[in-house]
Structure 1
Amino acid sequence: MSNTTSFIAWISIFKVGCSLCFPAENNIVINNSSSSLIVVPSNLRKQTKILDLSQNNIRKIHIQDFASLEWLRSLNLSINRISNVANASFRFNRKLECLDLSRNELSNIECHFLNNITSLKYFDISSNRFLSLTLGKAFGFLKNLEYLGLGSREAIKLQKNDLKEISRNQLQEVSIGLKYLSEYELGTLLVLRTTKLHIVLPSAGTSALLNKVLHDAFTSSDTLKLSNIDCSQTCDNYINGFKALGNVRISTLLLEDLTLSWLQFTSILVPIWDTRIKNLSIMNLTLNCIRSAFQHSDRVLETLIFRRIGSSVFYSKLSLYYDFFFKLKVVNLTISNSGMNIIACPEQGNYFKFIDLTDNSITSDFFFQDCKTLNLLETLILQQNELHQFYKLSTMTRYMKSLKHLDASQNKLTLDEKTNCLWTNSLKKLNLSSNRLTDLIFTCLPSNLEVLDVEKNNIYIVPQGVNNLEMLRELYLGSNKLVRLPECSNFRNLEILYVEGNSYQEPSSHFLQNCSRLTKLNAASNPFACTCHLRDFSRIKENTQVELVGWPESYQCIYPVNLRGTLLKDFYLSEVMCNPVLLLLIILSSITVLAVVMGLTCHFLDLPWYLRMIYQWTQVKRRVMKTDLQQLHENCVYHAFVSYSEQDSGWVKEQLLPNLEERENPFRICLHERHFIPGKGIIQNIISCIEKSYKSIFILSPNFVQSEWCHYELYFAQHRVLSEQSNNLILIVLEPIPQYMIPSKYYKLKSLMAKKTYLEWPVDKSKQRLFWANLQAAIGIKITAETEETLL
């Protein structure tokens, strides 16, 4: 089977174009194809390695055109109008390995410009206007050449000496266009030493000419590709040429671009079938209806491929159709891109091990149902058809006792209800990607599967308890609608898991605990929510030996918005934020430490003093509570009690007292130095004066906050305000007090200055009159006559 797979892959890329010689990654690529250029651009980057100038109007290559591109490795100049290439055009391009000059106007095949590029591996000068294919001596220096494309759009002759310059080189592939061949010397192609040979056959010519070409072509290499078999006018020369084949060397034959009738086709196919050829591929076949059975020898062909067959072939008699395709003695059969819509069960005794029916119109209603003759079939490929009923797909396989690989991808398969599907027990690999399947698919799978591909379906979850897939090693679930990762407990032997491009946001790394054999994981391109639930998964690359496909560039946060675009490898949340128990312990510990600190702070910041002040004020409050507010006003002796620092006494005596006591209606001002009663405690005097005064005026300055007694006076005055629910505090800022100068125990002063409007003493004399007016208005109260008499 490995030989069949390599053959099928090879025929699809028989000739690798120059532009594909090197991958684009790690190379500087410039593509100026189809740019209407008439000369080679002069501003090409010096580091260019791959340059495409195809499909332009360039007519000539000059010496200086590529002189600066010393790193150039691949150059495509095909489909231009180049008629001349200067001899030293590539002398500075010694690393050049690919050069395509096909489909131009070259007439001289000497190609002296090749002298400087001995590293060349790929060289194509086919479809030019050579009058002869006599290769110049420059070809003899191409010791590393692997691919050579030759050919002309002019009538040419081909002789042995024409190819002698490359006769000593072992090539991988040679392509020669002989569409306009007029004369051929027998044995010319035998000069070549090549593994693969592609011949574009002459469109016209004598039977003898085609006989010579085909004779040499079939004996010159291991693999032969023949193109341009056009029998729209006559086919006798081609038929005679194939019938004249004797012993052939080739084991693989590719026929491409055929236009002929069914009779002409079978007349060519029969002699080919009778040769030693093992692998036959027929592509781009335009064929009319099948009208007769195909009679061929009993020899078994290893591989037969039909690709892109004209649709009219399938509108013939079904019996002849079946006879042709499924009575063939072939081990590996491919019929692709050919419009087939029905297929019958082969007769007993067939040799089929591999059947590929890709890109047709086959439905599952009648396809191989109850077919018991495919006992040897190991691989069945049904990609890109019209299969709908998944249940019938399973029943189709139940008699295929050797089937190991089934590919039904890119169909329209559905499964609408839970059912017991009838599978063959031999099936190991199942590809159901690009269908319309849902979660129910996991109730209808063969038990011995080792590889399951259900990518690009409508699967939301993998149901728990899927216990019939113990042998599964590879599971592909990409591009579905998964909202969570599958439980690995369902697939204990799983080694490869692909779940990229789904809808889950917070996969946990714990799912790996039951996947002890997992070696490869693809979880890229999902809408990851970078939260605590994702924290362990984001460290998966560090914590496991599993190969993470697409890491790190395809693993990005989508939610929350502030983390969108962040790579998972850069996403981090601390243990504290994601562990509630640890967070609670830290909070409790912090509260305990804070309480201890606060206790110690209070101890060192005179907490006993505050307690004494509270006790004494409660005594005052008890007395105040016995007198109502009206009585308290009637008992006022002084208009205001003034609290100030001794350092500010000069301003009090020179400014404050004259403006309050020497007016027409003088205020009675209480001062500690005049009205404190000797022998009585200072605190009692303070409380007494505050109680007998309607207002309390505080002269604030840096000196004030340094005075211990001023603090007491402020303390009791503030508590009076709170007790009486009055507004009897007047603050006068004599000098600005910076916040840093106010001791911590004066926090009440800070609070008062923040909440209460205060008066500022203006230095400007013009503003002082307004200051006194505001102060007098703030004091404004009349003391009763009885009170005055008592005072006197």
Structure 2
Amino acid sequence: MSDTRHRFWPIFLLLHAMMAAIHGEDCFHPQILPHKLSLLDTKLDLSHCNITRLQPSTFRTYHNLQILDLSYNALEELDFSVFQFHTTLQRLDISYNQLRTINCSTLQYIRGITHLNMSYNYLETMFLCKEFAILTKLRYLGLSATRIDRYDFVNLAHQELETVFLGLEHLQHYESGSLQLLDTEKLHVVLPQTSMNTTPLYNDFNISTTLELSHILCEETCDLIVEDIRKIIQKSKVSKLILSDVTMPWHEMIEILSISWRSTIEHLSIYRFTFIKEFVYEVIDFSQGSLKSLTVENVIPQVFLQSGEEHPLHMISKMFIENLTLSYSELSYFPCPPWPSIFRSLILTNNRITDGIFDGCSTLPNIQSLDFQNNVLERLSSIASMTSTMKSLKYLDVSGNRLYCDFRTACQWSQSLLILNISRNKISDSIFNCLPTNLEVLDLSGNQLSSVNNGINHLKVLKELYLSSNQLSHIPDCSHMSKNLIYLNIEENIIHSPAKEQLSKCQHVKRIIAGKNTFQCNCELRSFIRTAEDLHESLIGWPQSFTCEYPQDLKGVMLKDFHPSEISCNVFILVGLIVGAMVVLLVFMLFLCKYYDLPWYIKMIFQWLRRKYRIRNNNNEEAMMGKCFHAFISYSQQDYEWVTDLLIPNLEKGDNSIKICHHIRDFIPGKAIIENIIESIEKSYKSIFVLSPNFVQSEWCHYELYFAQHSLLGKNSDHLILILLEPIPQYLIPNKYSKLKAIMKHRTYMEWPKEKGKHGLFWANLREAIKANIPLEE
């Protein structure tokens, strides 16, 4: 139950936070938190939970907690001793609460903290007590207040920070030189929106090499804002300036850009820029300046008018800067510079750029890196043609577009291109016939490749090949690839049963990533597993990422733990065992046949079952009419002893259940022998003939058999029982007994067994054959 509770904990926490926002409840309750959080999670988000207080035992059981977000709650006081058991805590966000004071004596319990955000609370001053000096690992500090005095940061004077955030929207008082006590690489300031004198504050922005100014808003008159930024740029002497959350007309932004161009700033970044009013093209000389890179991301245009003959983008294309980034800016094109440009890197990602970009453009001789990631490009041949004039191009990223390769169109690439990323497109197998020959790194992940054809032979210097998330059903033949190949990624394909040879051919590749495929664990995979274990040093992710997908009962089992039996996989062993078992069984059957005469027993049982079936299906009432005996016996006088000593006693047994017609006792005196024979056969249910060589020589047996041939055999052959007392060669039977020959040849007869152990079954079978409900009369 606890595992299930933990699995759905993030969803539960989110729902509870929503309910708290609606009802104003405290969502931070000890019994709400999962008890196994310390074993599985290092991050806990409790923002927007309307928390008013923390108890000392609240986080006691969560020993692995590293990141805790308590922002946007209602904390009025905070005792850091609640974290005394959390030596791993590194990031703590308590911004946007109602804190008025900090319990400085308990700061020792978070001495390992690296990121602490206390901004936007009810702290009137930024004074940091002496206990802040023990936070020697602190790298990020977020603060806000309405007043900053001279020595507020004195206890951080010896701390080397990476970033300091100051939310100063409501600042009322600033004492000159206060920020000079801070030592930080980056200063992020939300500019004051009050009417105070900001000159002393702006003069102190020179404490870092990176300065970020946020919430720059001017919808009507922007002269004061532009002038303030001018002062900041001129006096701060930063090398990297970041402007975020900016709303202003394009004209004022161009003015700020012009000011930055003629300053010490080398890198200018503008994030979340909403420009209003007119989109004006202005002629500005950008040929001289210190700016090396310009980044503009997340542009929200609210402009419906454009003045000037050219689009403002033409002005940007004329800039003499090395690196330009225009991302999330809703661009559909970017103009080719009118004269040779010094652009080295162009990043135009997450826009709507289409085919035709830089078509025939020859003014980018210095471009080395070009990034068109996540646009709407379609024809790969157009991209290739675009690069043919870029003699210095080394890196091209066109991932996340709609590119396809038309094998009928030739591809003319820049010969200097070394790294090509065409991942997440619609590329098919024909791509290998349309690639630049000097590539060292090729990324074709997330396409529609089903195989790697011999076209890859042309990439003689290829070092890295990415083929993940395609439709490959086998490992590519590395023997057709460059001998310089050191990295191959083929994970997340549909490779079911890779052969040993496929992996062996990639032994020269130092790093192979082939996990997360749909491996089918069968006998064919054994050789691959053995090879993989031998190459485990170069097979990245082995064995954790190599698991069975099929069959279902083995899903999730690591390949190294898959050990099928040798018998189930080696057909020769299996056939040998089957043949051996059959031979043993055959020898055993022969032994039984030789020593126990098993066929004879089977034959007798079969005859017994057959007779039982026939008796059941015969009309017994009609067959019993006028019968006085169960059987008439015909035999040679030479076999008299066997009949009288064995046959009759074992059939009758003195219980009157079976009555035999024997001529010595049952023939009527005074009648002719022939008449007695005919009458005895007619009154008997069945006739038993004891066959032997003596039988053939007996004259009376001839008469009896003759009558049986013409009387019984023609009517119902089931009433005739032949007992072979001794074997009779066919040549001894006279030709006039042709009917007997035919019967003995095609009809089943009972053989008298010489072994005494078989006599019981013989008599039981014979009694069953003649048993019938005959109304016996004395």
TM-score range, shorter chain: 0.7 to 0.9
Match of 2:384 in 1: 394
Which one of the candidate residues 493, 510, 515 is aligned to 1:502? 493
1:464 aligns with 2:459: no
Match of 2:178 in 1: 188
For 1:641 and 1:57, the matched residues in 2 are separated by 118
Task: Report the secondary structure of 2:187's partner residue.
Answer: strand
Match of 1:337 in 2: 328
CA displacement, residues 144-169 of structure 1 (integer Å, 9 cap, x when unaligned):
222111114xxx12122222222222
Contact between 1:500 and 1:526, CA under 8 Å: does it hold in 2?
yes
- TM-aligned CA distance change 1:284 to 1:749, over 3 Å: farther
For 1:143 and 1:65, the matched residues in 2 are separated by 26
- 1:394: how far off? 0.3
Contact between 2:133 and 2:155, CA under 8 Å: does it hold in 1?
yes
Q: TM-score, normalised by structure 1?
A: 0.72
Match of 1:762 in 2: none
CA displacement, residues 216-270 of structure 1 (integer Å, 9 cap, x when unaligned):
11x1112211111111243233222233344544222211011111232133222
- TM-aligned CA distance change 1:713 to 1:636, over 3 Å: closer
Match of 1:777 in 2: 771
Which one of the candidate residues 503, 527, 533 is aligned to 1:536? 527
For 1:309 and 1:333, the matched residues in 2 are separated by 15
- TM-aligned CA distance change 1:420 to 1:602, over 3 Å: same
- 1:637: how far off? 3.7
- 1:723: how far off? 5.8
Which one of the candidate residues 125, 136, 139 is aligned to 1:132? 125
Amino acid at match of 2:251: L
For 2:87 and 2:591, the matched residues in 1 are separated by 89
1:725 aligns with 2:747: yes
Alignment of 1:404-443 (within 5 A): 404-443=394-433
Amino acid at match of 2:71: S
For 2:641 and 2:30, the matched residues in 1 are separated by 95
Comparing 487-496 with 92-101, greater Cα deviation is found at 92-101
Task: Report the secondary structure of 2:177's partner residue.
Answer: coil
Contact between 1:57 and 1:81, CA under 8 Å: does it hold in 2?
yes
Q: TM-score, normalised by structure 2?
A: 0.73
- TM-aligned CA distance change 1:331 to 1:721, over 3 Å: farther
Match of 1:658 in 2: 654
For 2:389 and 2:744, the matched residues in 1 are separated by 99
Which one of the candidate residues 219, 224, 227 is aligned to 2:211? 224
Contact between 1:95 and 1:117, CA under 8 Å: does it hold in 2?
no
Match of 2:51 in 1: 58
For 2:285 and 2:193, the matched residues in 1 are separated by 28
- TM-aligned CA distance change 1:573 to 1:235, over 3 Å: same
For 2:86 and 2:597, the matched residues in 1 are separated by 96
Match of 1:121 in 2: 114
CA displacement, residues 383-417 of structure 1 (integer Å, 9 cap, x when unaligned):
11111111110000011111111000111112233
Comparing 566-575 with 294-303, greater Cα deviation is found at 566-575
- 1:377: how far off? 0.9
CA displacement, residues 97-118 of structure 1 (integer Å, 9 cap, x when unaligned):
3221111111224655424332
- TM-aligned CA distance change 1:50 to 1:612, over 3 Å: closer
CA displacement, residues 590-647 of structure 1 (integer Å, 9 cap, x when unaligned):
858976996799689857999999xxxxxxxxxxxxxxxxxxx987249x99999x9x
Which one of the candidate residues 311, 330, 350 is aligned to 1:359? 350
Match of 2:149 in 1: 159
- TM-aligned CA distance change 1:448 to 1:78, over 3 Å: same
Match of 1:301 in 2: 291
Match of 1:168 in 2: 158
Amino acid at match of 2:500: S
Task: Report the secondary structure of 1:82's partner residue.
Answer: coil
Amino acid at match of 1:241: D
Contact between 2:229 and 2:256, CA under 8 Å: does it hold in 1?
yes
- 1:667: how far off? 5.3
Comparing 58-67 with 253-262, greater Cα deviation is found at 58-67
- 1:778: how far off? 5.0
For 2:227 and 2:640, the matched residues in 1 are separated by 137
1:143 aligns with 2:139: no
For 1:174 and 1:522, the matched residues in 2 are separated by 41
- 1:86: how far off? 4.1
Task: Report the secondary structure of 1:160's partner residue.
Answer: coil
- 1:328: how far off? 1.3
Match of 1:636 in 2: 634
1:325 aligns with 2:316: yes
Task: Report the secondary structure of 1:84's partner residue.
Answer: coil
CA displacement, residues 253-293 of structure 1 (integer Å, 9 cap, x when unaligned):
21101111123213322222222222111111112412422
- 1:559: how far off? 4.3
For 2:641 and 2:366, the matched residues in 1 are separated by 117
Contact between 1:287 and 1:312, CA under 8 Å: does it hold in 2?
yes
Contact between 1:418 and 1:443, CA under 8 Å: does it hold in 2?
no
Which one of the candidate residues 200, 205, 215 is aligned to 2:195? 205
Comparing 315-324 with 599-608, greater Cα deviation is found at 599-608
Contact between 1:471 and 1:491, CA under 8 Å: does it hold in 2?
no
Contact between 1:498 and 1:523, CA under 8 Å: does it hold in 2?
yes
Match of 2:26 in 1: 38
1:96 aligns with 2:89: yes
- Give the aligned length: 659
Which one of the candidate residues 268, 273, 278 is aligned to 1:280? 268
For 1:511 and 1:132, the matched residues in 2 are separated by 69
Amino acid at match of 1:430: L
- TM-aligned CA distance change 1:70 to 1:659, over 3 Å: closer
For 1:368 and 1:224, the matched residues in 2 are separated by 34
For 1:158 and 1:40, the matched residues in 2 are separated by 34
Match of 1:514 in 2: 505
CA displacement, residues 543-582 of structure 1 (integer Å, 9 cap, x when unaligned):
32453344444434444556555443333456666566x5
For 2:394 and 2:452, the matched residues in 1 are separated by 24
- 1:305: how far off? 0.5
- TM-aligned CA distance change 1:314 to 1:224, over 3 Å: farther
For 1:690 and 1:279, the matched residues in 2 are separated by 128
- 1:179: how far off? 0.8
Contact between 2:536 and 2:542, CA under 8 Å: does it hold in 1?
no
CA displacement, residues 173-228 of structure 1 (integer Å, 9 cap, x when unaligned):
1111001112222221111111221111112335x41x3322211x1112211111
For 2:474 and 2:62, the matched residues in 1 are separated by 53
Task: Report the secondary structure of 2:204's partner residue.
Answer: helix
Comparing 685-694 with 85-94, greater Cα deviation is found at 685-694
Alignment of 1:255-274 (within 5 A): 255-274=243-262
Amino acid at match of 1:182: Q
Contact between 1:730 and 1:758, CA under 8 Å: does it hold in 2?
no
CA displacement, residues 672-698 of structure 1 (integer Å, 9 cap, x when unaligned):
xxxxxxxxxxxxx9967999999xxxx
CA displacement, residues 451-487 of structure 1 (integer Å, 9 cap, x when unaligned):
1111222222222354311211222222222233322
CA displacement, residues 315-368 of structure 1 (integer Å, 9 cap, x when unaligned):
745635244211112111111000111111124342211110001111122x11
- TM-aligned CA distance change 1:240 to 1:352, over 3 Å: same
Alignment of 1:481-630 (within 5 A): 481-493=471-483, 494-545=485-536, 547-560=538-551, 563-573=554-564, 582=572, 587=576
Match of 2:222 in 1: 235
- TM-aligned CA distance change 1:264 to 1:465, over 3 Å: closer
For 1:32 and 1:714, the matched residues in 2 are separated by 98
For 1:728 and 1:714, the matched residues in 2 are separated by 11
